[in-house]
Structure 1
Amino acid sequence: MSYNTLVSADILHQQLDNPNWIIVDCRFSLTDSEAGAKAYRRGHIPHARYVRLDKDLSSKITAHTGRHPLPDFTVLTRKFGDWGIENHCQVIVYDNAAGAFAGRLWWLLRCLGHDNVAVLEGGIQQWLKQGYKITTSLPKIKPAIFKPYLHNESWLNALQVQNNLARKSICLIDARSPERYRGEQELIDPVAGHIPGALNRPFQLNLDARGLFLPPSTLNKQFNRLLGDEAPEYVVHMCGSGVTACHNILAMEHAGLKGSKLYAGSWSEWIRNKNRAVFRPST
């Protein structure tokens, strides 16, 4: 059996020594870029290898990009092989932020044609809560060859978002907090507000009080209430830099609402161009 959205700690534990299961630790902090690597060294799920959002899952920032530009897919493909990921493998990704960062790698793997990838429900906290052990031992990685099958229709650039909004042919959903969406609070990016026409669904709404995803039926009802008559394939997700937006894509997929896309540059890219429309509280 393959897993394409979420996997439980119990199932991962059962498959822990399965050589066809590749585990990836994606812990990261936007305020301390070394925090994830330090946490990994202090203890991680056995056999997990560590990858960094800023260095492995993003490319360099330029004057025209957002804070986490999409990585070079040729380089990323090579890294997948270096991490031991082959096309037939089941990949499990986790973090300590309810999937907020692991979702980025989940989405990137799917973009490159690898559907057998799932996020660990509840992350490493749930793993520990269920009494499973962690280790400081580094995994023995056997390099592999990963063959990509790029789905470049999975994301939109800023111009495509701008044009499709003008034609009213997409439904844009912003995964940031309500305060950031409304422009009342902005501690990360230099401009506050949101893209005119975007709806708001903070990614935290996908989770219950324990930090686990809501049942698929509940997520399905919530998203359908937000989308109205819009089909999932016309939905485009964004956030501050194209990372937590993947959480909403994951939630929709888990709810059976397949085919939504990502505005990869998101808010931090959108505001780089002063000619792009911005909604601010004062307007």
Structure 2
Amino acid sequence: MSHPVYRTLISAAELLQLEKQHQSLLIVDCSFELADTAAGERGWRERHLPGAHYLHLDRDTCAPMTGLNGRHPLPDREWFAERMRALGLKAETQVVAYDNQGSPYAAHLWWMLRWLGHEAVAVLDGGLAAWSAAGGPLSSHEPPAPQASSFAAVSSLSPTISAEALQARLGTLRLIDARAGERFRGEVEPLDKQAGHIPGASNRFFKDNLAADGRFKPAAQLRAEIEPLLAPHGAEATVHYCGSGVTACINLLAMEHAGLAGSTLYPGSWSEWSADPRRPIARG
């Protein structure tokens, strides 16, 4: 029997059905809190989707910080592929990522797996709350260690751009900043070295992609809201960033779900950009 491949979002009802059918399914809890970096893993140990493994944002998906490479640096691609091999990922595996914070960390894993060239990855729409609301079971049992796989990264589905390349192309790209409006405008900066944004950027707060219940807005609505931000260049000339390259992935996921494919992530984001006083910044 062939199974549907989920590439952007999967509903709780769809996942409940898929669990009954799919031979190669990997569920990953990505829950995380910046203010308490152990909270996500504690929460996973207390309750998670049955069989779900846990990936820690800092430990499992990011490189060490140097002070100049941002707060959540992109790791070596092969290093991350090895992390996924340890979870048993295969080319045919359908991955479902979720978190309990409105999906930014799940969207980050979605982007990371596409960066390895793995297409069958989706975010559980609405996360743990939607799963519970649909009557999905929860478990406190740690899943057995999976058998390591021979997964190999292939051509990336997630383009990136460096700070240097981005600076050289300022004015020729559309830039979308996923941070809250007050941080974008430079009114406050609780985390990084300078306040403001990259010159020429527009602001779309990552939470603007979600409805009140924490699920993503319908694809047509997302498209109608996002398309005006892309003019005149279109999706493929659009670069997304945020504070550290994580929450921008929700904007990328929303665009992909809305049929606006092909835009790029600046992984270093504001935390890397603002660490170099020679780079231009804008406020307001």
For Structure 1 versus Structure 2, the TM-score category normalised by the shorter chain is over 0.9
1:195 lines up with 2:198 in the alignment: yes
**Which one is further off, 183-192 or 82-91?**
183-192
Alignment match, 1:82? 86
Choose which of 249, 252, 256 in structure 2 pairs with 1:253. 256
**Structure 1: unaligned runs, 5 residues or longer:** none
Alignment match, 1:262? 265
Choose which of 237, 261, 265 in structure 1 pairs with 2:240. 237
Per-residue displacement from partner, 1:23-73 (whole Å, max 9, x unpaired)? 001000011000000000001001110000011110000032100000121
Aligned to 2:95, the other structure's residue is in SS state strand
Map 1:78-157 onto structure 2 (within 5 A).
Answer: 78-140=82-144, 141-151=146-156, 154-157=159-162
Alignment match, 2:25? 21
Change (3 A) 1:152 1:126: closer
Tell me the distance in 1 between the aligned counterparts of 2:164 and 2:91.
33
The Cα shift of 1:152 comes to 8.3
Aligned to 1:54, the other structure's residue is in SS state helix
The Cα shift of 1:15 comes to 2.1
Change (3 A) 1:60 1:152: farther
1:171 lines up with 2:188 in the alignment: no
1:66 lines up with 2:70 in the alignment: yes
Tell me the distance in 1 between the aligned counterparts of 2:172 and 2:186.
25
Tell me the distance in 2 between the aligned counterparts of 1:280 and 1:170.
19
Aligned to 1:12, the other structure's residue is in SS state helix
**Structure 2: unaligned runs, 5 residues or longer:** none
Tell me the distance in 1 between the aligned counterparts of 2:82 and 2:141.
24
1:43 lines up with 2:47 in the alignment: yes
Taking only aligned residues, the RMSD between alpha carbons, in angstroms, comes to 1.2
Tell me the distance in 2 between the aligned counterparts of 1:47 and 1:212.
23
The Cα shift of 1:3 comes to 0.4
> 2:87–2:148: 8 Å Cα contact kept in structure 1?
yes
Tell me the distance in 2 between the aligned counterparts of 1:31 and 1:251.
26
Aligned to 2:27, the other structure's residue is in SS state strand
**Which one is further off, 31-40 or 140-149?**
140-149
1:225 lines up with 2:240 in the alignment: no
Change (3 A) 1:152 1:130: closer
Per-residue displacement from partner, 1:70-106 (whole Å, max 9, x unpaired)? 0121111111110111011110000012211111110
> 1:53–1:101: 8 Å Cα contact kept in structure 2?
yes
Tell me the distance in 1 between the aligned counterparts of 2:187 and 2:46.
37
Tell me the distance in 1 between the aligned counterparts of 2:140 and 2:42.
11
> 1:175–1:202: 8 Å Cα contact kept in structure 2?
yes
Aligned to 1:223, the other structure's residue is in SS state helix
Q: Runs ≥4 in structure 1, deviation > 6 angstroms?
A: none
> 2:111–2:158: 8 Å Cα contact kept in structure 1?
no
Tell me the distance in 1 between the aligned counterparts of 2:29 and 2:181.
29
> 1:16–1:46: 8 Å Cα contact kept in structure 2?
no
Per-residue displacement from partner, 1:110-163 (whole Å, max 9, x unpaired)? 011101100000001111122211101122322211110142871001001101
Change (3 A) 1:14 1:173: same
Alignment match, 1:2? 5
The letter for the 2-side match of 1:219 is L
Identity, in percent, stands at: 44
